């Protein structure tokens, strides 16, 4: 148990809305098929990734002092070098605050939170700002409606600090597993050494998001339930003890499967229909929406959960 | 002070050697100019990034059990999604061990080590494998001899565990700062949203390493000395107390400036002439070479130091 607290969150959804009905003809699918995916609309970025990040970050920081560390937990890079934390720091006007990136695809925010919990616990830092800002829309493959229909743009941020005196707030546990058998189920295969962008095989689809949805779903059904049960057992709790379940917003279909883990719909934070899959930003966006809707109070047991390319899953439990 | 220990390191340098004399005509420079850069030779990868990583990782793990976490601390991605930790896990034959990446350009290994120290201290993990594997040679801009002459390929790994009982081994301190004013001094500007590879402005140089050496050098001279003094003051030690100084191997010129901080050449681990700048792998490669040459014994005060794109600098102190 690590005595830490999330002292602020921030949220940014671009103003521009793109509905399933608008997107359907561009993907060559019917409006009926499009609405069956479970994403009625998504936002489309009109600002840069660091600008979006900074809006969410400023809200999370509130009137408090600057952070002593920025962790960028986004999958969308601004460019390959330097890492995107630098551009977010620049946008925020910071001049000597350290920044780096944690990349665990859709789980980046959750992994960053687990790192931040230990970094706060050890005294390495006192006020860590984690930001996820994603512009996935530029990487949509319009020849692959199944994935292109899911993706949206957005940003969110959180500030992590030591728990206040007398507070029960704590990071109670975290578990992650990676199964490389799913490495190619969800990918953007360009930008690296495998298919170097200047190499002879490089092509446009290398830079677009590719997903084999059925394989992802099959591997999820096989891996998630035992991992989830083991996590609960180790924490000595049951599903009913959890006050709110905040999962990565992968797909409309995926959101429904969480009910199979035993959560009533009312305990699941579900924003996929309104914002789509905003990659690593989805989870902190859902957290912020839940807080703003007063669905979390101090002392609540909050569970975070995600599945990401790799494939990896992660579960975390927090006393709010 | 975090009671952790590096219990194993591993090293891999590809067999293929490319000398300054061989490279000079390809860069349109004289052999004399080439040798003045301070990189007499470098290795050129003949295996993939994960294969190189796995060789170094296996050596670091030795006969011990598998790690309970893999952190990929490399700048070279295999592809954009999933992050490269997945491909390294696959190469090592692991099926459920969690993996993710930390990206802080040339400082990635050092930042990963600082994260690992807190993760071990908090009890989150017991045996963390950090791997840096770099194939920078594919991103060399042959029209920019100044940077192309520096880069080499290589990999190294380290295993971090709680300090053994009775051992004085500890992570004594870490300090990092990022100055976004240097964001464009060292870059690979492609692969992200700024110049999306499928966008109208994309060009080959977007995917090549670009450096404004003089600006990097000027900012370094301005920022490093005060940061370094402050770090020593906070630790309550002087330069003479440090037994070995292991810096990122940025350039031949850069290595010489470390003597200005007060270190005699004999206390500086310098492998730049033999291996070039292997990006994030340089620092752990230098650590491994120092250990193999028996330049470190238990109880020694070892200082790590690096400067990376961003620009960022980081300093760390360890009781070995």
The number of beta carbons lying within 10 Å of the beta carbon of residue B89 is: 31
Touching B: A residues 211-240, CB under 8 Å? none
Whether pLDDT at A129 is above 90: yes
Asked if A174 contacts B124 with a C-beta cutoff of 8 angstroms, the reply is yes
Task: Say how far apart CA B128 and CA B316 lie, in whole Å.
Answer: 18
Q: Cβ neighbours of residue B82 under 8 Å, at least 6 residues apart?
A: A105, A183, A186, A187, A308, A309, A310, A311, A312
pLDDT for residue B76: 86
* pLDDT-derived band at B257, boundaries 50, 70, 90: confident
pLDDT above 90: residue A3: yes
As a whole number, the mean pLDDT across chain B is 96
Can you tell me which residue has the tokens 């860590």? Answer: A128
Mean per-residue pLDDT, B287-305: 98
Query: Which chain B residue shows the shortest CA-CA distance from A177?
Result: B98
| Interface touch B192/A103, C-beta < 8 Å | no
What's the distance, CA A72 to chain centroid? 12
Q: Is the pLDDT of residue A71 over 90?
A: yes
Q: Count how many Cα atoms sit within 13 Å of the Cα of residue B120 in the half-sphere of its side chain.
A: 29
Q: What is the pLDDT of residues A43-57, one digit of tens each?
A: 999 999 999 999 999
CA–chain centroid gap for A122, Å, is 25
Residues 259 through 318 of chain A touching chain B, CB cutoff 8 Å: 308-312, 314
pTM of the entire predicted model: 0.98
Chain A's closest residue to B227, CA to CA, is A96
Provide the token pair at A182: 């799913």
* Set of chain A residues whose Cβ sits within 8 Å of the Cβ of B79: 187-192, 194-195
Share of chain B above pLDDT 70, in %: 100
B96 touches chain A (CB under 8 A): yes
Q: Is the omega angle on the peptide bond into residue A82 within 30 degrees of 0, that is, cis?
A: yes
Q: State how far the alpha carbon of B87 is from the alpha carbons of B50, B52, B156, in Å.
A: 6, 11, 16
Question: Could you say which DSSP state residue B196 is in?
Answer: -
Q: Which residues in chain B touch residue A94, judged by CB atoms under 8 angstroms apart?
A: 178, 180
Kindly report the number of other CB atoms within 10 A of residue A73's CB atom. Answer: 31
Task: Note whether B81 contacts A187, CB cutoff 8 Å.
Answer: yes
Structure-block tokens of residue A318? 């927090």
A83, A108, A179 ranked by CB distance to B96: nearest: A179
Chain A interface includes B77 (CB < 8 A): yes
Q: Which of A175, A139, A162, A185 is nearest to A278 (CA)?
A: A139
State whether residue A100 sits within 8 Å of chain B by CB.
yes
Is B41 within 8 Å of chain A by CB?
no
Residue of A nearest to B104 (CA): A100
Kind and range of the H or E element at A41? Answer: strand A41-43
Spatial distance between the Cα atoms of A186 and A184, rounded to a whole number of angstroms: 5
* Cβ pair B198:A208 closer than 8 A: yes
Beta-strand (E) ranges in B24-98? 41-43, 69-72
Three-class SS state of A229: helix
Q: How far is CA B264 from CA A71, B107, B186, B259, in A?
A: 36, 23, 29, 6
CA distance A172 to A241: 14
Task: For B192-247, write each residue's pLDDT tens digit.
Answer: 999 999 998 899 999 999 999 899 989 998 999 999 999 999 999 999 999 999 99
Residue of B nearest to A310 (CA): B82
Please tell me the predicted confidence (pLDDT) of residue B155. 98
In angstroms, rounded to a whole number, what is the distance separating the alpha carbons of residues B166 and A92? Answer: 45
Task: Report the complex ipTM.
Answer: 0.97
Q: Do A174 and B124 touch (CB under 8 A)?
A: yes
Separation in Å, CA B210 to CA B132, B184, B252? 21, 9, 18
Residue ranges of domains in chain A, CATH in brackets: 4-162 (3.40.47.10), 170-319 (3.40.47.10)
Q: Render pLDDT for A295-318 as a digit per residue (tens, 0 to 9).
A: 999 999 999 999 999 999 999 999
Alpha-carbon distance B102 to B188, whole Å? 17
Please name the helix (run of DSSP H) or strand (run of DSSP E) that holds residue A210, with its range, or none: strand A210-211
Q: Does B172 contact chain A (CB < 8 Å)?
A: no
Q: What is the pLDDT of residue A317?
A: 98
CA–CA separation, A117 and B124 (whole Å): 10
């Amino acid at each position: 148990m690590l005595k830490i607290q999330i002292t602020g969150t921030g949220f940014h959804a671009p103003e521009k809305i793109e509905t399933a009905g608008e997107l359907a003809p561009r993907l060559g699918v019917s409006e009926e098929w499009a609405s069956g995916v479970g994403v009625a609309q998504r936002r489309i970025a009109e600002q840069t990734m660091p600008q979006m990040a900074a809006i969410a970050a400023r809200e999370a920081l509130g009137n408090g002092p600057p952070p002593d560390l920025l962790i960028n937990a986004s999958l969308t890079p601004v460019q390959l070098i330097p890492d995107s934390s630098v551009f977010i720091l620049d946008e925020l006007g910071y001049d000597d605050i350290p920044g780096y990136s944690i990349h665990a695809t859709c789980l980046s925010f959750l992994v960053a939170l687990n790192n931040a919990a230990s970094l706060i616990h050890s005294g390495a830092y006192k006020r860590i700002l984690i930001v996820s800002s994603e512009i996935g829309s530029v990487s949509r493959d319009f020849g692959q409606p199944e994935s292109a229909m899911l993706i949206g743009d957005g940003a969110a941020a959180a500030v992590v600090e030591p728990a206040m005196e007398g507070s029960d707030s704590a990071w109670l546990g975290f578990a992650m597993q990676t199964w490389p058998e799913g490495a190619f189920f969800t990918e953007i295969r360009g930008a690296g050494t495998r298919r170097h962008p200047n190499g002879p095989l490089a092509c446009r689809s290398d830079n677009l998001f590719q997903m084999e949805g059925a394989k992802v779903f099959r591997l999820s059904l096989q891996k998630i339930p035992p991992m989830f049960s083991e996590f609960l057992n180790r924490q000595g709790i049951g599903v009913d003890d959890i006050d709110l379940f905040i999962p990565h917003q992968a797909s409309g279909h995926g959101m429904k499967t969480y009910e199979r883990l035993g959560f009533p719909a009312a305990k699941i934070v579900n924003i996929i229909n309104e914002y789509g899959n905003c990659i690593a930003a989805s989870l902190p966006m859902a957290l912020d929406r839940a807080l703003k809707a007063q669905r979390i109070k101090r002392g609540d047991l909050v569970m975070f959960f995600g599945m990401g390319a790799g494939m990896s899953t992660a579960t975390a439990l927090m006393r709010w």
